[in-house]
Every structure is written in C-alpha cells, then in structure tokens.
Amino acid sequence: MRAPDTVKLAVVQMHVTDQLEDNVTRAVQHVRDAAAQGAQVILLPELFENLYFCQVEREEYFALAHPLEGHPFIGRFQELARELGVVLPVSYFEAAGQAHYNSLVCIDADGTLLGNYRKTHIPDGPGYEEKYYFNPGDTGFKVWDTRYGRVGVGICWDQWYPETARVMMLQGADFLLYPTAIGSEPAEVETPNSHHMWQRAMIGHAVSNSTYVAAANRIGTEVVGDLTQTYYGHTFVSDYTGEIVAEFGETEEGALIHTLNIAEARKFRAGMGFFRDRRPELYGPLLTLDGVTRRG
C-alpha cells in the first residue's frame, strides 16, 4: 500500500489521573477533537490509562495489566477509529500468561487491529522502574501498513536508540512515532532534567533517516507511593530535516496537528543517499554487547 502524498498527523498531550474511565474518556475526546480538525493519524501518550506507576515497585500495580483479548478499552478505540476514519496507535499495559509487557496496538482507520508491539528497550532507574513490571519485548520492531501510510511506532525508552529508528525505516516506515511518559528525575539522580536532550535524540533520528518524527508526552504532577514526578510535555513534530515544525509547551493540553509531506520526504531521503551508502556487512559489532564480533 503506497502512502498518500500528505498525511495530517495529531500528537496528543494530556494529563493523567488514577481513574481509568476518566483517562479513557478524556483521550477519546482528544481524538475526536483532532479528527474534527482533519487529523488522519492520532497518537496518544504512553500508558495514558493511569498514573505512571513505574515510579515505584509495588505488587499491587500488576493488577492494572490486561490481556489484549477482551481488553477493557482497546475495543472502544477500534470503534472510534472506525467511526472517525482515523489511525490510532494505542499504548497499554499488557498481561500475557505470566508475562507483562509495555505494549501498543495499531488500529487502522476501519477499526482493524493491525498488530501488537511490545516495547523493546526497558529502562531501570530511580523514578522509572520499568524492569520490575515489564518483560523485554519479544515482537521485534513493527511497521504497519495503514490507510494513511506505513507507520512505525516505538515506545518511550525506544526513542533513545538509533537502532530502533533505523530498523523501522529499513522496514519501510513513512514516518516515526513515539508515545512517551517522561519528566522530572528524583533529587538524587544526576542526569539532566531537560526536555532538550530528549528532543535532540529524536531529531537526530529525523536527520539521519530523512523522515518525520513525532512524540506525544504527558503533562502534570503525579504522586505514586512516596515519589512525585512532573511530566514536562513538549510534545513535538520534527520534519525530515530535523526542524521542529510544531511543539507544545510544559502545560498545554490537546492535539498538536501538522501536515506531513510524505512525498517530499521520500524524494529528499532518496537524494541524501543515507540508505544507498549504508555498509551493513561492516555493522557486525552492533549485534554484540561489547563490540567484539565473534566468528565460529
């Protein structure tokens, strides 16, 4: 399926509470608002169904996970996608047998469930204790053929890895999306508490792959256990040259909308030659942890 020449993208920035129905109802309204403005692909933030519970390690939060089959709200978004004729990548906490995943389904504009992606890179640090909750994803990276082009989606921590973006582009993605939940670090952490580094990493993917990249973040202050985090927003869209062409601030809530010129990006990408000049036969060290390629 060939992508249309242009795609109208919306990335949603929203606050989240500890009430599932409240969050889902608000997310649905954001989708409706974006569709009313002509959006064709609409991205919601990571794990928007509840507070970012991964701030702490508590057994009780495993109860938030649900199997994909019979899920409490994914079917609702399938009906919404069908009604509005929009593509919806939807993040959720997945239970699969005894395993748990940070997952995402891509719903096509006719409501069809195109597939399930399980987050590949799982962080582990103060305020982001995801390894306690989530098994490492086993699906591999995913790109889906939708009514509005080939959509590649990573999840939050995936956004820091150039390998994620490159694989999705090699699989034929027309543009890259990242739902995310990121903000302040606990006081004892030395890493910078800045949205700039977060954006620059993804802008680098846009430049080196000559593609549009967009990320949807949450906003607001959330208290989980004895920890408090403030999510810094700055949901944005970068064009295929690395220019930020649309951006929210730290407190705005709603749908950030931008039209992607897929045809122009495709032409520019071919002209840059980044994919022509790759040397995959020399990239063996990327398949190791220590950079030493072993043979035999």
Cross-strand bridge partners of residue 190: none
165's tokens: 């973006």
Cross-strand bridge partners of residue 7: 260
Catalytic (active site) residue 49: no
Contacts of 158 (CB under 8 A, 6+ apart): 119, 120, 121, 164, 178
Catalytic residue among 49, 54, 130, 156: 156
Alpha-carbon Rg for the chain, nearest whole angstrom, is 18
Give residue 114's Cα distance to chain centre. 16
Catalytic (active site) residue 59: no
Catalytic residue among 46, 130, 222, 247: 46
d(CA 20, CA 192): 31
Catalytic (active site) residue 130: no
Cross-strand bridge partners of residue 237: 214, 246
What are the C-alpha distances in Å from 113 to residues 105, 146, 155?
Answer: 7, 10, 18
For helices 20-36 and 74-84, angle between their N-to-C axes, nearest 10 degrees? 10
Looking at residue 207, its amino acid is V
**Alpha helices, DSSP H only, in the chain?**
20-36, 74-84, 130-133, 162-170, 195-209, 262-272
216's tokens: 């949807």
291's tokens: 């950079």
d(CA 205, CA 247): 17
Catalytic residue among 8, 49, 54, 119: 119
Residues forming the active site:
46, 119, 156
